Structure 1
Amino acid sequence: MVGGGEGAFIGAVHRMAAALDGEFALVCGAFSSDVERNARSAAALGLDPARAYATLDALLAGEAALPEDERMEVLAIVTPNHLHAPMAIAALDAGFHVLSEKPMALNLAEAQVIGAAVARSGKLYGLAFTYSGYPLVEEARVRVARGDFGKIRLVQVEYSQGWLSRPIDQDGNKQAEWRTDPARAGLGGCLGDIGTHAFQLAEHVSGLAVGSLSAELTTHVPGRRLDDDVAALLRFEGGARGVLKASQIAAGDENGLRLRIHGEEGGLEWSQMEPNSLTLRWLDRPVEVIRAGGPGLDPSAVARLRTPAGHPEGYIEAFANLYIGFGRALRAGAATPPPPGTADWFPGIVDGLRTMAFVEAVIENSAGEAKWTALARIPNDRRTAGGE
């Protein structure tokens, strides 16, 4: 692991998710640029002090020098955004698989360089789009794909948080500080942090690709350097329309990720804060509520469950589904993620490239005078791995 030392939220989440199903063990890390914090982090995690490296370069060199059956296999990248691309490329070129935090990179050009590194290395690359790991998100995707609702007409996704309603990024909060710093977060604040989650979820479940969008970025908190509120109208290829709303200044909201998809005959609704229920609504029959662990689930959704009905599973378990899929693909010798619909699918290069194309299109449209802006042409085929 690189990043994720003491005091870091997402590093601990990755470690819990990776360990949940016994597919992974943490063997080494470069957890912090602060020497003492790095050492304390490694000691708290029970690691050999010799494998608590001061830098990523030292980690890659040190691990490569070990016998093959002792060295690390996968690098988990849990740093601020500006380090994702250089670290992923270095690890792939050194012969290691990579599972990275999102967004993939600072921009599409960087993301495409990662894609090229994946292609030439033949190594696996995964992205932590956690919410696509929930069992009932998979159930929703299956029902859309098999045509339960007829042709899809409308996709609505909302991701609403309130934690940045006050200027905590200017008051010493480290998590807020780097997320609102263009040098470390990239060109989008709320857009890159949670807007990418909303976009990836909408495309993944609907099976549709956004072709163009009309968007507005807003910064509500005075002195903040990046957006804290995003709104976009979406035009999907094939004729469906959509709305994406992401905000980190919705005071009082916690982690309100909500997806609704409607076709000719009915639609579905799923909320991350009530993840074990999927609501189906129909034109000509009563509303249905599908429950995690209950009857009627597709086998690919069942495969993502660990407990019987009525035993809630949540964020850590969804995250672990990405890790277990990655681990099984690695053990099978795969160079690409399995296709959607298989039990071990996980987000990869295509999800990363498309989310970066989304970020750039939103920024371009919001800053310009054009009514609609097309996304860069990235094939919406999650069976491919390489740098299209």
Structure 2
Amino acid sequence: MKRTLRLAMVGGGEGAFIGSIHRAAAALDGDWRLVAGAFSSDPERNRRSGEMLGIEPERTYPSLDALLVAEAALPPEKRIDAVSIVTPNHLHAPMAIAALDAGFHVFCEKPMALNMEESRQIAQAAARSGRQFGLAFTYSGYPLVEEARVRVARGDFGKIRLVQVEYSQGWLSQAIDREGNKQAEWRTDPARAGLGGCLGDIGTHAFHLAEHVSGLQVQELCADLATHVPDRRLDDDVSVLLRLTDGARGVLKATQVAAGDENGLKLRIYGEHGGLEWAQMEPNTLNLRWLDRPAEIIRAGGPGLADSTLQRLRTPAGHPEGYIEAFANLYRAFANRIAGEVGKDCSFPSVDAGLRTMAFVESVIANNASDRKWTELAAG
């Protein structure tokens, strides 16, 4: 019987949004148990966070370095199996590399790092350590995203011609990054967010979803980056034309200044015979449209779903599943891969996804800064 794996978390302490999401997702299926952490660089906040989460005081560490040294010294039956990194982007690479080199698996928030060079260093650390590295491209964990991927891959729509993806938010429509909003403040700081603002934060989600479901890769792109809020240091609006493999064409739109929008991630893919549409705010519905027959609505838990889709469902039809469950699917697949669970879902975004998305970020920035119409997207 597969044992429950032991998890440590770095970041995600008191007041942090994404840390609580990771913890809920990791715990949902009983595959993971949080036993240690370094939750904040502020000693008192770190202590309160560990206490709130029921962590033994001696395993609430002041830093990742202290955590790695102490956990490595514990007997195998007690030490952690993996580290979850939920810090701002500038800490992803040094922390991931240190944890991998210490012999621990790593599950990391996206984007992978600040730039391609750091991303390659993580990939090298994962290769030499033999440990797993997972990335929180959450939307690939939704059951009907998997169903869409399966139907495209088996040729239901014929040769794919068009890929359209958009991610529309409005929460950065005002200068809240200069008004004390901590989530906004670090995401618009190049030193901590990296090369892209909206581009790195949600543009990478859109890009990963488009390639993941279509099965195609972006070969060239033509980009326009904009910063609408005065004095903001990173982009808050992204528009990209895409040329994909097999002659397909695409459009990617990501913005965080669509005032009033919440979390409008949508994907449309069209082939010779029909197409599909999926929207994150209605995640249990997949719409199919055809040239020669009536449109179809596929529902989570309904008939006709692929085996790999069924593995990502937890409840019968009509019982909504959402964001935390999608996140949990990635944590469960990560645990299955570590445990070598043959025949179970072991699919999660890993090093290759991190390299591809970072190549996308750097190519968009290079194209926007140049006078060239098209920029090649390197393999990563």
Note the 1:223-262 alignment, pairs <5 A. Answer: 223-262=231-270
Note the 1:145-294 alignment, pairs <5 A. Answer: 145-294=153-302
**2:317 paired with 1:309:** yes
Question: Secondary structure at 2:74's aligned position in 1?
Answer: coil
Residue in 2 aligned with 1:369? 371
Question: Secondary structure at 1:12's aligned position in 2?
Answer: helix
Measure, in 1, the Cα distance between the counterparts of 2:327 and 2:375.
Answer: 33
**2:78 paired with 1:76:** no
Residue in 1 aligned with 2:340? 332
- Shift of residue 359 of structure 1? 0.1
- Match for 1:375: what amino acid? L
**2:18 paired with 1:10:** yes
How much is the aligned-residue C-alpha RMSD, in angstroms? 1.0
Measure, in 2, the Cα distance between the counterparts of 1:368 and 1:6.
Answer: 43
Please tell me whether the aligned partners of residues 274 and 291 of structure 2 are also in contact (alpha carbons under 8 angstroms). yes
Residue in 2 aligned with 1:345? 347
Measure, in 1, the Cα distance between the counterparts of 2:314 and 2:31.
Answer: 15
1:146-175, CA deviations, whole angstroms, 9 ceiling, x for partnerless residues? 000000000000000000000000001000
Measure, in 2, the Cα distance between the counterparts of 1:174 and 1:43.
Answer: 23
Question: Secondary structure at 1:230's aligned position in 2?
Answer: strand
- Shift of residue 69 of structure 1? 1.1
Please tell me whether the aligned partners of residues 190 and 196 of structure 2 are also in contact (alpha carbons under 8 angstroms). yes
Residue in 1 aligned with 2:308? 300
Residue in 1 aligned with 2:3? none
Residue in 2 aligned with 1:93? 101
**2:117 paired with 1:115:** no
1:92-131, CA deviations, whole angstroms, 9 ceiling, x for partnerless residues? 0000000000000001111011001011000000000000
Measure, in 2, the Cα distance between the counterparts of 1:267 and 1:155.
Answer: 10
Please tell me whether the aligned partners of residues 336 and 345 of structure 2 are also in contact (alpha carbons under 8 angstroms). no
Measure, in 1, the Cα distance between the counterparts of 2:379 and 2:29.
Answer: 37
- Shift of residue 343 of structure 1? 2.6
- Shift of residue 70 of structure 1? 0.4
- Shift of residue 332 of structure 1? 1.2
Measure, in 2, the Cα distance between the counterparts of 1:343 and 1:32.
Answer: 33
- Match for 1:307: what amino acid? T
When normalised by structure 1's length, the TM-score is 0.95
- Shift of residue 377 of structure 1? 1.9
Measure, in 2, the Cα distance between the counterparts of 1:343 and 1:14.
Answer: 19
1:165-193, CA deviations, whole angstroms, 9 ceiling, x for partnerless residues? 00000001000000000000001000000
Match of 1:357 among 352, 356, 359: 359
- Shift of residue 270 of structure 1? 0.1
Residue in 1 aligned with 2:5? none
- Match for 1:351: what amino acid? A
Measure, in 2, the Cα distance between the counterparts of 1:163 and 1:33.
Answer: 27
Residue in 2 aligned with 1:383? none
Residue in 2 aligned with 1:386? none
Question: Secondary structure at 1:238's aligned position in 2?
Answer: helix
Structure 1 outlier segments of 4+, above 4 Å: none
When normalised by structure 2's length, the TM-score is 0.97
- Shift of residue 362 of structure 1? 0.3
Question: Secondary structure at 2:253's aligned position in 1?
Answer: strand
Runs of 5+ in structure 1 lacking a partner?
379-388
Measure, in 2, the Cα distance between the counterparts of 1:123 and 1:377.
Answer: 23
**2:133 paired with 1:131:** no
Runs of 5+ in structure 2 lacking a partner?
1-8
Measure, in 2, the Cα distance between the counterparts of 1:333 and 1:159.
Answer: 34
Aligned length, in residue pairs: 372
Please tell me whether the aligned partners of residues 301 and 343 of structure 1 are also in contact (alpha carbons under 8 angstroms). no
Q: Quote the sequence identity (%).
A: 73
Residue in 1 aligned with 2:4? none
- Shift of residue 331 of structure 1? 1.0
